[in-house]
Structure 1
Amino acid sequence: MQEVYEFLKKCGTYYLATVEGDQPRVRPFGTVDIFEGKLYIQTGKVKDVSKQIQANPKVELCAFADGKWLRVSGKLVRDDRVEAKKHMLDNYPELKGMYSAEDDNTEVLYFEDATATFYSFTEAPKVIKF
């Protein structure tokens, strides 16, 4: 999982796919954190992406850097603990103007039953499960 985290940090931006009814939805994301041995992302509960995840927690993300790309699929689980939110926001202080660990909007979610696959045109795929 550490390798997945480091790749996503290096990319800076990754793309998260959710489903709304029968329509896929994809948007850029930039937050990633490891807290208590789990890979987390962050959003706001008022956003459509949060509502989509709560309706169907199966997601996929994709990121690309240096001729390699990463696809992570799994379920996202909401963690409403202040400690988890604080950890994320401490790692992204620029978000503290919009979010607070104590507000009702900040949402952090961790991957459960995730499969991460690294791809390139020159190497065999590498699979990591966490």
Structure 2
Amino acid sequence: MDEIYEFIKKCGTYYLATVEDGQPRVRPFGTVNIFEGKIYIQTGRKKDVSKQIQKNPKVELCCFNGSEWCRVAGELVDDDRIEPKKAMLESYPELKKMYSAEDENTQVLYLKNATATLSSFAAPPKVVKF
């Protein structure tokens, strides 16, 4: 799992796919953190992506570093505790202009039942489950 986290973190931007009324929705994300041995992402509860995840927590994310790509399929679980919110905001201090660990909007979610596949044209795929 640490290898997957490091890969996503180094890419900087990953694309998160959700579903809304049967239609795929994909958008760029930039937050990823490890807290208590789980990979977390962050968004705002007021955003459509949050509402889509509440309806259907199954998501996929994808990122590319120029020669390799990583796809992660799994479920996102909302964690409303203040500790993971603080940890995320400490890792991304620029977000403190828009979010606070104590506000009603900040949302952190961790990946559960995840399968990550690291791929390239030069090597066979590597699968990591966490």
Could you tell me the TM-score, scaled by structure 1's length? 0.99
* 2:100 aligned residue: 100
2: distance between equivalents of 1:22 and 1:81? 31
The one-letter amino acid of 2:80's match is D
2: distance between equivalents of 1:100 and 1:62? 27
Report the CA distance between 1:66 and its aligned residue: 3.2
2: distance between equivalents of 1:48 and 1:54? 10
- Runs (4+) of structure 1 exceeding 3 A deviation are none
Alignment RMSD, CA only? 0.4
Q: Is 2:78 the counterpart of 1:84?
A: no
Gaps of 5+ in 2: none
Could you tell me the TM-score, scaled by structure 2's length? 0.99
Q: Percent identity?
A: 72
* 1:120 aligned residue: 120
* 1:67 aligned residue: 67
The one-letter amino acid of 1:48's match is D
1: distance between equivalents of 2:66 and 2:49? 28
The one-letter amino acid of 1:111's match is L
Gaps of 5+ in 1: none
- Number of aligned residue pairs: 130
Report the CA distance between 1:104 and its aligned residue: 0.5
